[in-house]
Homo-oligomer: A and B are copies of this chain.
Amino acid sequence: MSITPDFNEKQIQILQVAESLFAEKGFEGTSIRTIAKEAKINIAMISYYFGSKEKLLEALVLFRTKDLRFQIGNLAAEDLEPLEKINELVYLYINLVNCNKGIYRILHFELANGSKDIKLQVLSEVRKEHLKYLTIIIEEGQRKGVFRKDIIIELLIPTILGTFFHFYMNKSYYQNLLDLNSEEKYNEYIKTTLTNHIQQTIKALLIYEICPNNKFAKANTNE
């Protein structure tokens, strides 16, 4: 579906192996020897094609985010109720991230801390785009009187992505806890129950009427 004209077949092969290994073992934990061995290419090819290990990562980010960018876009324009739109958005979002676990993991946990000085402008743009669509939908719901007015929209995405990632990053723990003793069961659980849980969470947040006197939230401020 998506075209990636800049990289040839072997480069893509390297990028795929690199994505998988970086996601699994982290950037530092993966040696170019391992990548070369797994991708069945010569070690020197990585430097030859990408310049360096770091630039390989950079190319990987570029390669994978290119597709991700506009996959959520036109939902805001569809003819749906705001709540339906939100549910759809969450579903699409989780699905998108779940299908691109590798690169998302790298982006969020390997690069997010900013220690690498890799241009993550792409990531930043994607994020802002996602935030924009979310804002449009929520403001529509607010105008229609369906959603609450005091929502911190910026904190919805941490809840959506955070929940998913925590579940994904602690895979073996949750497989054990929830008896999801196969890859299929685990993945099916994400697509149904976990997605549903996140949808419920966001819906509840958007619609529930906050009780006026929240002593704990206040209490927290003066720690």
Spell out A's residues near B (CB within 8 Å). Answer: 24-29, 84, 87-88, 91, 95, 108-109, 112-115, 124, 127, 131, 152, 154-155, 157-159, 161-167, 169-174, 177-178, 191-201, 203-205, 207-208, 210-211, 214-217, 219-221, 223
Contacts and interface: CB of A to CB of B under 8 A. Distances in A.
B174 A167 contact: no
A173 B124 contact: yes
Contacts of A114: 171-172
How many copies of this chain sit in the oligomeric assembly?
4
Contact of A84 (B113, B194, B216): B216
Given A28-B28, A174-B154, A215-B84, A95 B163 contact: no
A146 to B, nearest CB: 12
Contact of A165 (B162, B171, B177): B162
A152 B189 CA distance: 12
A163 to B, nearest CB: 4
Contacts of A197: 152, 155, 159
A200 B212 CA distance: 12
A194 B221 CA distance: 11
List 3 tightest A-B contacts by C-beta distance, closest first: A162-B162, A162-B166, A204-B204
B169 A196 contact: no
A218 to B, nearest CB: 9
A144 to B, nearest CB: 16
